[in-house]
Structure 1
Amino acid sequence: MQTQVAKPLRYGILLLPHAAMADLALITEVLSRANQLAEKKLYEFLLLSPSGDAMPLTNGIKAPVDLPLSYAPKLDGLFVIADEIAGDVDVDELSKTIHAQATEKLQLIGIGCGSYWLARAGLLNGYRSTIHWQEINRFTEEFPEVIVSSNLYEIDRNRMSCAGGASTLDFMMVLVGQQQGHDFAAQLSELFSMERIRPGNERQRIPLATRIGASQPKLTEAVSLMEANIEEPLTTDDIAYYVGISRRQLERLFKQHLSAVPSKYYLELRLKRARQLLQQTSKSIVQIGLACGFSSGPHFSSSYRNHFGITPREERSSRNTGKNASE
């Protein structure tokens, strides 16, 4: 009786506008190295784009692809790689094409901001998912049906997501380990000189944590409270109370490590959030001001101008001008 040879797993790698070269390189390199280590073809992959045209990456290089997504053969899994959530993507067509591929066994994997586009296609409702830390707030706001985390990566049944960058390598090792065994993944990680494979429940490092490390948990907790309360700002006394230190101690921590008093740091957080909303959403200026904790339009406008040197209206106008020029 002839032994049936297992077919290689076939992955599509869908590049959306300005996908990160690093993510593409890590995914393809891990799959290729796995084939070399096994001395047989465990994986095959196809590079795809929505239209079949070469796709511009974050570094300016245009990556040629094998096929448009609509022409892809049946896949075992589909990586969706994106580095921004403001790209020119036909979401209806993307949704239709992915749904045509989707089966109960098909793995859908968002890398970087790829999970945002999977959510836009209605494919993450009821699943745990993550995204790059810069977009977590918007991701949470836009998709209340998605269970959003700030972890490095999430694996929830056949829906997977990864924050991108260095965490892509950790995720790929875990994915291969699930399919080929942990010993195989350990050998593969040695080829990449990995000291360890980080678990998915390890949280993404936010800039503050990167700057001060774990040595100031009270300060990190205070900033986390601020980030979670943008629309209805807490007072400095409230933050000190919830963190469990005196107001004077809190002010000392901010001055020593962030060179600002808590109220000024909080205001800058809210203004940066407002700028992000002005640049990336179509919400009105009044709505954005209220969403960022400003009680009136004039207060929002003057605070914004004092910090950035232009008014919210000028910010919105410059964004639209730049968008029209690129078109």
Structure 2
Amino acid sequence: MATDVRRVGFVLLPGTHPGALMPALSVLLSANRMAEQPCYAPETYTLDEHPLQADGLSVSPAPWQHCAPGLAQLWLLADQLPPAESLPPALLIYLQEAVAAGVLVGGLEAGVAGLALAGLLDERRCAVHWRMLDEFRERFPDVEATTHLFELGDGLASSSGAQATTDLFLTLLAQEQGQDLAALVAEDLVVERIRDGSERQRMPLRNRLGSSHPKLTQAVILMESNIEEPLTTDEIARHVCVSRRQLERIFKQYLNSVPSQYYLELRLNRARQLLLQTSKSIIQIGLSCGFSSGPHFSSAYRNCFGVTPREDRNQRRAQQAAEGVARES
């Protein structure tokens, strides 16, 4: 376990609620407590000398120009996408220099726009909260905005916000201080599991489907509620009070799929999540996701993801083992 204290800077952009700091701070402070020694030293900054106040919370950060050399991480936080003119050019240059110096630079929720304005995300991926996704894509067409929980790599990071920020900081904690401390912190924060960044945000159903068609919404809710014992297409149609043919037309029109294929992919994605993040046996996972046998599950999984469940799990374990060796070396 590393013993050097890592300085972590947070720059809160104008209008940011002080509570936006809490998911990240909770992880860092818990890590110090669980390790029984200081691992992280959080520092807060704003664009000016004015304190931030909201709902009884008050934070009195220093101006960002007071950032001293030696930061290990630097994060921008914002509640809303900031106008380009609201960020001083000197700050954007500072972000570029920080990345060049090996500092991990990231954006939390709308703070990711600062990284885009600095040109750090051109032709790169970043996680953007679903509610600001369209605006972000319009403003930054050269950036690949995703609905993943978070993106991490090449010295840059982004989080869609809230609980996803907790997942991101727990992932970083595991990389920097080891899986054991990350597990202790997750337990301390009553986090059931550390979600992978590639998981997608749980958007409102009508946003995920791209439609508010009531019958389509009802059908998908039924599917999501019946993973272990799948319903037939006829049963779903009967529950939502349409004919099978009408239900198939709705799925074709709005999702370019048929109900059975959409349902199958829904179950397989759930199975993959369990496979990569739990220790349940492959047979248990297959049965819990509505597959009647191991061969049936394996065949459907390979057709969807290009690898068998066992191969996928082994690849993930090999990757984790390699990352562990790299941390210890």
TM (normalized to structure 1)?
A: 0.61
Question: Shift of the alpha carbon at 1:35?
Answer: 1.0
**Letter in structure 1 aligned against 2:72:** D
1:1-150 alignment, distance < 5 Å: 6-56=3-53, 59=55, 61-65=57-61, 67-74=62-69, 75-86=71-82, 89-150=86-147
1:1-327 alignment, distance < 5 Å: 6-56=3-53, 59=55, 61-65=57-61, 67-74=62-69, 75-86=71-82, 89-208=86-205, 214-216=221-223, 239=253, 242-244=256-258
Distance of 1:172 and 1:241 partners within structure 2: 35
Distance of 2:43 and 2:59 partners within structure 1: 12
Aligned position for 1:306: none
**Letter in structure 1 aligned against 2:222:** S
Contact 2:108/2:161 (<8 A) preserved:
yes
Distance of 1:127 and 1:21 partners within structure 2: 29
Aligned position for 2:275: none
Question: Shift of the alpha carbon at 1:62?
Answer: 4.3
**Letter in structure 1 aligned against 2:128:** I
Q: Mean alpha-carbon deviation: is it higher for 102-111 or for 155-164? A: 102-111
Change (3 A) 1:47 1:205: same
**TM-superposition CA deviations, 1:167-198 (whole Å, max 9, x none):** 11111111111101112111110001111111
Question: Shift of the alpha carbon at 1:26?
Answer: 1.9
Distance of 1:126 and 1:110 partners within structure 2: 16
**Letter in structure 2 aligned against 1:148:** A
SS at match of 2:185: helix
Q: How many residues align?
A: 222
Question: Shift of the alpha carbon at 1:240?
Answer: 5.3
- For structure 1, the 5+ residue unaligned runs are 218-235, 246-327
Question: Shift of the alpha carbon at 1:97?
Answer: 3.1
Percent of aligned pairs sharing the same letter: 28
SS at match of 2:113: helix
Question: Shift of the alpha carbon at 1:20?
Answer: 3.7
**TM-superposition CA deviations, 1:43-63 (whole Å, max 9, x none):** 112110112321355x47442
Contact 1:69/1:97 (<8 A) preserved:
no
Distance of 1:240 and 1:96 partners within structure 2: 44
**Letter in structure 1 aligned against 2:136:** F
TM (normalized to structure 2)?
A: 0.61
- For structure 2, the 5+ residue unaligned runs are 209-216, 225-249, 260-329
Change (3 A) 1:237 1:197: closer
Contact 1:51/1:68 (<8 A) preserved:
yes
Change (3 A) 1:187 1:51: same
**TM-superposition CA deviations, 1:114-147 (whole Å, max 9, x none):** 1112101212123220111111112222222222
Change (3 A) 1:239 1:192: same
Which has the bigger relative contact order, CA under 8 A and spacing at least 6? 2
**Letter in structure 2 aligned against 1:137:** D
**TM-superposition CA deviations, 1:220-279 (whole Å, max 9, x none):** xxxxxxxxxxxxxxxx8972582347xxxxxxxxxxxxxxxxxxxxxxxxxxxxxxxxxx
Contact 2:81/2:113 (<8 A) preserved:
yes
Contact 1:176/1:185 (<8 A) preserved:
yes
Change (3 A) 1:104 1:154: same
Change (3 A) 1:243 1:91: farther
SS at match of 1:81: strand
